[in-house]
Amino acid sequence: MSFRVDVDLTNPGQFFGCCGLFELASRLDVDATAYFDRGGFSVSGRPELSAVLGQLTAAGLEQLDPSDGTASPILIPSPLRLRLDWWKDERSGGRDLKVWAGSMQSVRIAQAMLGALRDPMLHTPALFDVGQIVYDPAEPTKKVEPFYFDARRASNAHSLDIGFSPNDLELTTIAFPAVEVLCLVGLQRFRPSETGEPRIFEYCTWSNSLPVSVAALVAAGAVPLRGTRRYRFENWFRSGQRKYKAFRAAVSVAEGK
């Protein structure tokens, strides 16, 4: 079996969301492979899209450090069995990709986005384009703002863009839950490369069907292959206090910085 999802390759959150889907599919089928084309991302293997998402939402998320709701490692239990802690990785740059800070409860955000992903409306090839207000599963009347991995959020996050800062005023707006939770998963193995400029990163797509271990190296630009395409994006400060960040839209390196 196989599945394909629609993807905007200039949206870093969607790119790493695809990588997250691939990571999960490969844990259900070690022989799974995947590749990008201009309009989508295809995964070949036993699990279908609904099965991958079903396993993820059924497994749930476990906070491994009960005393730290802002930065605790997170476990996705069996059968996926994946530990998420890339935001604590100072050696290979994971920490530099962290978009939340201060009082943002990362585990609560992840659980809320995962809760929204249980909606069958998101179990389609267009899952990355489904936007909604997201609520806390533990307190259904309370709204939860996302991590800001989705680049569509960054363009409206700062006062320079719209005249005031939704973040500073604590306004609630539309989130894209599939992008937010699957990007969180994807960044555990798949990392962009550093450029030498502060907060500027690059990632590469690939057009040949690859296993997950090789694809992660290609995504970071460590293994050059014919048919790859390189994109550059900024992990941008989205608040006046320069604490909170967001992934901005990427551009093809061939088109300029």
**pLDDT tens-place string over residues 40-62:** 999 999 999 999 999 999 999 99
pLDDT in tens, 224-242: 899 999 999 999 998 777 7
At 153 the pLDDT is 87
Kindly report whether the global pTM for this prediction surpasses the value 0.85. Answer: yes
Q: Are 176 and 11 in contact (CB under 8 A)?
A: no
pLDDT over 60 at 161, yes or no: no
At 1 the pLDDT is 65
Strand partners, 232: 202, 251
Q: Which of 101-105, 130-134, 208-212 has the lowest mean pLDDT?
A: 101-105
Per DSSP bridges, beta strands 134-136 and 82-84 are unpaired
Average pLDDT score, the chain = 90
Between the alpha carbon of residue 172 and those of residues 68, 133, 135, 212, the distances in Å are 24, 8, 11, 36
